[in-house]
């Protein structure tokens, strides 16, 4: 880092990561920030701009994962609850996957069975992605069902449902194959908003509304809810103890039909809560650091 950029970083700690990125791209830090503020950190429609601490949080996640906001691999999204979340596009997820030393290829498969979606037509019932890793005998396979993933309020889902289901399966497989936590993708935010960061124009959009789909007719399946609650509870406890939900989801794959869907939903809910708590903790840490920097005691310390 040049002496001039060191001085900039020392003057404003929130700029330090911008300065590092500017050094990497060999551009001026101010010009880099001006460009980023008009793309991935542009003000919201109501004119509200992202605070320096919020920008720093998203950029820290990007730096940790090795993805680039300038390549539209990660965005900042503010939910209805006011919390800023890092959202990673499918290009960002692919970059994460390809950067893993153990990655050894992947495969996408669609089902031969189909379902009917209202105002869309006939589509594959599910799509699954398998990821192989070097030195691991059993690959990870994740299956995503169209009726569970389809977002009826999203233009891109309505026009390209197979394409989007492909992305959902790939992202889920990457999540369970590699240690990637604390980030959100196309789906539902912690505040309950339906998010689609991959519309036809490649822009970031957030849409609220009920998802209405025409589900295939099937014979109801009964199951022992109390037993599944116990199974899900044990799986969640194990995941929290290990700080890793991948084995729990792997275990859920052994179940069938509605039993599998029930346990997976419980695991997804628990994992989302863990991610929400991590985001809140990170924000609290940033606020504490900012308060410490602004305290009179801190200002009196010698440089």
Render pLDDT for 202-211 as a digit per residue (tens, 0 to 9).
333 333 333 3
pLDDT category at 294 given cuts 50, 70, 90 is low
pLDDT tens digits, one per residue of 33-80: 888 887 778 887 777 888 888 888 888 888 888 888 888 888 888 777
**What pLDDT is stored for residue 51 in this prediction?**
84
Question: What is the predicted pLDDT for the residue at 230?
Answer: 86
Q: Do you know the residue count of the chain?
A: 303
In this predicted structure, what is the pLDDT of residue 206? 35
* In contact, 284 and 187? CB cutoff 8 Å: no
User: In this predicted model, which residue has the larger pLDDT, 283 or 210?
Assistant: 283
CA distance 291 to 303: 18
Question: What percentage of the chain reaches a pLDDT higher than 90?
Answer: 21
**C-alpha dihedral sign at 258, 264, 270, 275:** negative
User: What's the pTM value of the predicted model, to 2 decimals?
Assistant: 0.58
| Residue partners of 140: CB distance under 8 A and separation at least 6 | 130, 131, 133, 173, 176, 177, 246, 250
**Higher per-residue pLDDT: 12 or 236:** 236
Of 91, 99, 50, nearest in space to 74 by CA? 91
- The residues facing 254 across adjacent strands are none
Three-state SS for the chain is CCHHHHHHHHHCHHHHHHHHHHHHHCCCHHHHHHHHHCCCCCCCCCCCCCCHHHHHHHHHHHHHHCCCHHHCCEEEEECCCCCEEEEECHHHHHHHHHHCCCEEEEEEEECCCEEEECCCEEEECEEEEEEEECCCCCCEEEEEEHHHHCCCCCHHHHHCHHHHHHHHHHHHHHHHHCCCCCCECCEECCCCCEEECCCCCCCCEEECCCCCCCCCCCCCCCCCHHHHHHHHHHHHHHHHHHCCCHHHHHHHCCCCHHHHHHHHHHHHHHHHHHHHHHHHHHHHHHHHHHHHHHCHHHHHCCC
Joined tokens for residue 95: 């970059």
Report pLDDT for 83: 80
Report the pLDDT averaged over residues 145-167.
90
CA 221 vs CA 20, 26, 260, 265: distances in Å: 56, 60, 12, 17
Map out the domains of the chain as residue ranges.
1-71, 72-217, 219-303
pLDDT of residue 146: 95
CB 89 within 8 A of CB 198: yes
pLDDT computed for residue 302 by the predictor? 43
For residues 51 and 9, give the distance between their C-alpha atoms in angstroms, rounded to a whole number: 17
Residue 229 has a pLDDT of 86
Of 278, 277, 251, whose CA–CA distance to 266 is shortest? 251
pLDDT tens-place string over residues 253-279: 778 767 777 788 788 778 877 766 765
Show Cβ contacts of residue 289 under 8 Å, excluding neighbours closer than 6 positions.
13
**pLDDT beyond 90 at 225:** no
Q: Report pLDDT digits (tens) over 85-137.
A: 888 888 889 999 999 999 999 999 999 999 999 889 999 999 999 999 998 88
Mean pLDDT for 225-238 is 85
| pLDDT (tens digit per residue) in 17-41 | 888 888 877 888 888 888 888 777 8
**In this predicted structure, what is the pLDDT of residue 162?**
94
Judged by average pLDDT, the poorest of 10-14, 46-50, 155-159 is 10-14
Q: Say whether pLDDT at 222 is over 60.
A: no
């Amino acid at each position: 880092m040049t002496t001039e950029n060191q001085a900039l970083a020392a003057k404003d700690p929130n700029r330090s990561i911008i300065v590092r990125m500017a050094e990497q791209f060999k551009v001026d830090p101010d010009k880099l920030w001006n460009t980023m503020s008009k793309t991935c950190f542009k003000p919201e429609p109501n004119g509200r701009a992202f605070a320096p601490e919020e920008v720093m949080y998203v950029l820290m996640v990007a730096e940790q994962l090795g993805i680039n906001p300038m390549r539209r691999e990660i965005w900042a999204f503010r939910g209805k609850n006011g919390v800023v979340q890092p959202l990673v596009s499918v290009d960002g997820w692919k970059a994460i996957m390809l950067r893993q030393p153990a990655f050894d290829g992947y495969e996408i498969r669609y089902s031969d069975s189909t379902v009917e979606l209202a105002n869309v037509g006939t589509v594959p019932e599910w799509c699954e992605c398998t990821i192989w890793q070097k030195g691991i005998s059993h690959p990870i396979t994740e299956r995503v069902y169209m009726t569970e993933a389809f977002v009826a309020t999203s233009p891109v889902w309505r026009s390209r449902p197979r394409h989007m289901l492909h992305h959902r399966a790939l992202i889920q497989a990457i999540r369970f194959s590699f240690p990637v936590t604390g980030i959100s993708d196309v789906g539902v935010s912690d505040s309950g908003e339906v998010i689609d960061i991959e519309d036809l124009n490649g822009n970031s959009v957030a849409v609220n509304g009920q998802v209405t789909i025409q589900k295939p007719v099937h014979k109801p399946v009964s199951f022992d809810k109390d037993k599944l609650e116990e199974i899900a509870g044990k799986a969640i406890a194990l995941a929290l103890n290990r700080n890793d939900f991948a084995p729990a989801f792997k275990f859920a794959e052994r179940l069938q039909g509605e039993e599998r869907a029930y346990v997976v939903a419980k695991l997804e809910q628990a994992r989302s809560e863990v991610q929400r708590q991590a985001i809140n903790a990170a924000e609290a840490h940033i606020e504490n650091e900012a308060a410490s920097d602004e305290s009179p005691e801190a200002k009196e310390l010698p440089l």
